[in-house]
Structure 1
Amino acid sequence: MGIVRRQGLRNTVISYFGLGLGFVNTALLMPRFLDPAQVGFTRLLLSVATIYAQLAAVGFASMGIRYFPFFRNREAGHQGFLPLLLGLPMLGFAVVTAGYWLGRPLVLAPFEPADAVLLNTYYGWGAVLALFMLLYSLQDAYLKGLYQTAFSSFLQEVLLRVLVAGVTLAFGMGYLTFHQFVLGYIAVNSALTLLLTAYLAYIGELHLRPTRAALQVRPVGELLRFGAFALLSNISGTVISSIDSWMVSSHSGFDANGVYTTAFFISTALTIPFRSLYKIAFPLLADYWKQQDMARMADFYRRTTRLNTVLGCYLALGIGLNLDFIYSLMKPEYAAGTTIVWILLAGRLLDGITGVNGLIVVTSPRYRFDLVFNVALALGTVGLNLLLIPPLGMVGAAWAALLALTSINVARTWFVWHAYRLQPFDYRILLILGAAAAAALAGWLLPPVHSLFVTMLLRSAVLTLVYAAVVLLTRAVPEAQPIIQKLTRRLRH
């Protein structure tokens, strides 16, 4: 288990550093140097390639992680597992590519004429980017089976973002035209795949010779069925995260998509503590299910929900009250996304407050319902976007995200209660929400001063002091009391 712990620690450090870099790139650096239409087009191209690669993979990235242990045998080249892992997705890529080219008129039809011309110019490059993203995801799955994940995490979380920042700065300083920027953006995303291939060769795990043994280790039908199940689950997640960008672009143009996706990425800062907690929660919940320890699971459910609420409210208010400062770092056109940030923050906060209901479902004996919820969320997101974007534009996409997240989390919370009699709420959640309301009012009433930066510091200080004081005085978070008592004893001595 030593290698797992070492790789896990490295991945944690890399993930946090990468999240910071990603926020700087997508929410600050690119909006500072690129116009909204340029940002909107770049992100749409990436969304198209992501969905393209996901369909072509036919769920084999997840299959690779699930079934590699049955093939593991380094001396025998893992019995031809890597060629098997790559083979069907390459066939899938050929099929999807045929549909991609034949459906070109249909893909371009919803866009405004100027946007359609720009997308058409780089249409073929979308296929190139999708191919490299597909190969990367498959090799990454293979490395996860080998317990060699730190290097691929470094490439994806750190190196890619550093390279994107470099290309963006080169464009902003006038060294690159927009055409060269787009090609550079595609190149740095594609280069990771080649680096991952080189790494596999370096560690002696690039076994590309096909063998008949690969078809005998496990029934091929079983692999395909699992892949199909994984494809449905994965594509639902991709649709949820990408379809709004596509629909905003097609209805309102690339400039609106640039404003919308920038607001979207600003709101993602709220999810950082949730993601970190879920990494810990997943194995713990699996262990509770194994032991059938429902009492400890119920306690963990309430504690994590309380922790998510207290951290989520603080971060949401910290971001929302300081949007003037955040948008002052960008081109003025992006400030149109202020309302969108508030709506998306509400959706993400609700998603966090409802706790770990999704993880409880996916680790439970009724784990297949997780697919039902994911598909329902994807269909709901698409339907609400179709309903709300025409009358409300990019703000409609934000409302669609909020309503879809609210509906699915209410359904998941009810399902966990109905199936297992577990629910995450107690009176302390109301105390935390009350503290958040008091802190929000105090921060909002603080008048702005001559400098947006100084105003940001003052509002953050007031928010922190009022929020912490009310939370501690009401004992809304019992876990914090031992820490306060320890600090108090030290101050007295």
Structure 2
Amino acid sequence: MGIVLNQSLKNTIITYLGFGIGAINTLYLYPVLLGATFYGLTNYITSCANVIMPLFAIGMQNTLVKFYSQYETQEEKSRFLSFTVLFPLVVIVPMLLVSLYFYDEILFFLSKKNEIVKNYVWLIPFIGLCMAYFEIFYAWARVHMHSVFGNFIKEVGLRLFSLLLLIAVYFEYLSVEGFVYATAALYLLAFLVTMFYAFHIEKPTFQFSMPKNTKEILTYTFYIILSGSVANLLLDGDKIMLNQYMIIDNIAFYSIATFIALVISVPSRAMHQIVYPITAKLMHDNKFEELNVLYKKTSINLQVVGGYVMLGIFVNINQLYEMVPKEYSGGILVVFMIGISKYFDLILGNNNAIIFNTKYYRAVLFLGVLLVAVAIGLNMVFIPMYGIMGCAFATLLSITLYSLAKLLFVVKRLHLYPFTRETIHSLVITFILFISFYFWEFPFSPIIAITCKSILITVVYTYVNYKFVISTEINNAIDLVLAKVKKFF
């Protein structure tokens, strides 16, 4: 777990730094400088791009991680890397041609409720293509155990440059319409920078030949496309559905709430970057005892860290919404619903990495497709009735059902168990502290109140978790920090 902790820690710090910049953008700059309409439009364009991204990448980012370690010679590895980069074009080119042929129909469908979408629809495949190749080259770096730089580009770089673009809007160097186009250019830049970084790690020698196990790779890739599409539809499909039923401003209101809730999943995103290739190698080597230990460790570590983040958000949510324009304040309940669904998914540890590296992954993926259909149906029912609240409720049900299905699959099929008695202890601690702090309001300005409450929560939560030894690894990390502090003084 040494390299896992080392790179996971770096990735966590980078990701939270990115979310910190994102918080400035999301809570202050986007609503004020872009307004609800163009903020909603920007989110809609990037959400649609994220949904079609797995189709453009055709799962090669996951395929690369799964199969790369199985090749022994440098020539085989080089041939495989070439395949992962070039083969997606076989799918991308026909898809773009078909989209051009049916462009008017697509345009009408996507803009029938919000006319403003019509002028920007072509940016969706452009950004989706950039996202797809970013992920492929990021995976190229990850299989060589270089996960930090790509994570920095993804989590910090994009948000930092978005901040600069927003500043340009403030000083009227850039129009709000120009901001949407500049956002697309940022994704192109991220893809190019990551590509050259991947080439720096291992210089490419492109070969127009197929790997020796092409059939196995293509079979796996087909199901990973389903997996990625399911995951991204569950993540961003709700915003796409909102565009079909409500004015686009509501996507802006919903986006602020979901951004706040998504902070809970940051530890999982950071750890996943380095745990995924390690999980793949353990399963390939049939080291299931070590895998079970890793499963439990990732679960409890993510639960402790994620529980702290969730607790901090939930008890400060009223003060957070005092700092955004009043028209956005209807999203508090959305934060709770989306946040709980993310927390449940987070405590499953490296569950996804395990599933995607077994021969049984197909059944779960088809179940995921079914749940996406259920999610779409739920959104069609609840959005017209309850607006963004109905959208959040549909997302909560969908993600929870999908996470539960994946958990039961791993337990029943592989006899791997993520939970221990510390799991229950952590849940109890988090719940008690939430009840204790949520109704305790400080008579200060929102920033001061959030700071005071957060300091108290940090001290109490850390002490209680340390005292009850919820996570031995986190305790060891705390001991190490305390030892260094004592040595310093």
TM-score, normalising length: structure 1:
0.80
Separation of aligned partners in 2, 1:71 and 1:64: 16
Whose radius of gyration is greater, 1 or 2? 1
Q: Does 1:251 align with 2:245?
A: yes
How is 1:323-472 mapped onto 2 (pairs within 5 angstroms)?
A: 323-472=317-466
Q: Which residue of 2 aligns with 1:274?
A: 268
- The amino acid across from 1:43 in the alignment is N
Classify the secondary structure of the residue corresponding to 1:34: helix
Classify the secondary structure of the residue corresponding to 2:122: helix
Tell me which of 97, 100, 103 is aligned to 2:99.
97
Separation of aligned partners in 1, 2:163 and 2:240: 24
How is 1:312-323 mapped onto 2 (pairs within 5 angstroms)?
A: 312-323=306-317
Query: Is the 8 Å Cα contact of residues 51 and 229 (structure 2) preserved in structure 1?
Result: yes
Q: Which residue of 1 aligns with 2:159?
A: 161
- The amino acid across from 1:434 in the alignment is V
Q: Which residue of 2 aligns with 1:41?
A: 41
Query: Is the 8 Å Cα contact of residues 73 and 79 (structure 1) preserved in structure 2?
Result: no
Classify the secondary structure of the residue corresponding to 1:368: helix
Classify the secondary structure of the residue corresponding to 1:450: coil
Separation of aligned partners in 2, 1:389 and 1:90: 33
Change (3 A) 1:348 1:6: closer
Classify the secondary structure of the residue corresponding to 2:87: helix
Query: Is the 8 Å Cα contact of residues 36 and 334 (structure 1) preserved in structure 2?
Result: no
Deviations 1:215-260 (A, max 9, x none): 4554876665444333222222221222111011221221111111
Change (3 A) 1:431 1:281: same
Query: Is the 8 Å Cα contact of residues 350 and 406 (structure 1) preserved in structure 2?
Result: yes
Separation of aligned partners in 1, 2:338 and 2:15: 23
Change (3 A) 1:88 1:477: closer
Q: Which residue of 1 aligns with 2:55?
A: 55
Separation of aligned partners in 2, 1:90 and 1:449: 56
Q: Which residue of 1 aligns with 2:183?
A: 185
Q: What are structure 2's unaligned runs of at least 5 residues?
A: none
Q: Does 1:171 align with 2:169?
A: yes
How big is the shift at 1:433?
Answer: 2.5
Separation of aligned partners in 1, 2:290 and 2:7: 28
How is 1:99-114 mapped onto 2 (pairs within 5 angstroms)?
A: 101-108=103-110, 111-112=112-113
Query: Is the 8 Å Cα contact of residues 136 and 193 (structure 1) preserved in structure 2?
Result: yes
Query: Is the 8 Å Cα contact of residues 270 and 348 (structure 1) preserved in structure 2?
Result: yes
Aligned-pair identity (%): 24
Deviations 1:64-91 (A, max 9, x none): 66677699659x9999758843641442
TM-score, normalising length: structure 2:
0.81
Separation of aligned partners in 2, 1:125 and 1:205: 31
Change (3 A) 1:347 1:51: closer
Classify the secondary structure of the residue corresponding to 1:276: helix
Change (3 A) 1:306 1:137: closer
Query: Is the 8 Å Cα contact of residues 85 and 136 (structure 2) preserved in structure 1?
Result: no
Separation of aligned partners in 2, 1:433 and 1:10: 26
How big is the shift at 1:120?
Answer: 0.8
Deviations 1:299-347 (A, max 9, x none): 4444433333332222112111112332344323222211111111111
- The amino acid across from 1:240 in the alignment is L
Query: Is the 8 Å Cα contact of residues 60 and 84 (structure 2) preserved in structure 1?
Result: no
Query: Is the 8 Å Cα contact of residues 197 and 206 (structure 1) preserved in structure 2?
Result: no
Separation of aligned partners in 2, 1:37 and 1:172: 16
Q: What are structure 1's unaligned runs of at least 5 residues?
A: none
Q: Does 1:31 align with 2:25?
A: no
- The amino acid across from 1:462 in the alignment is L
Query: Is the 8 Å Cα contact of residues 259 and 337 (structure 1) preserved in structure 2?
Result: yes
- The amino acid across from 2:49 in the alignment is A
Separation of aligned partners in 1, 2:125 and 2:245: 23
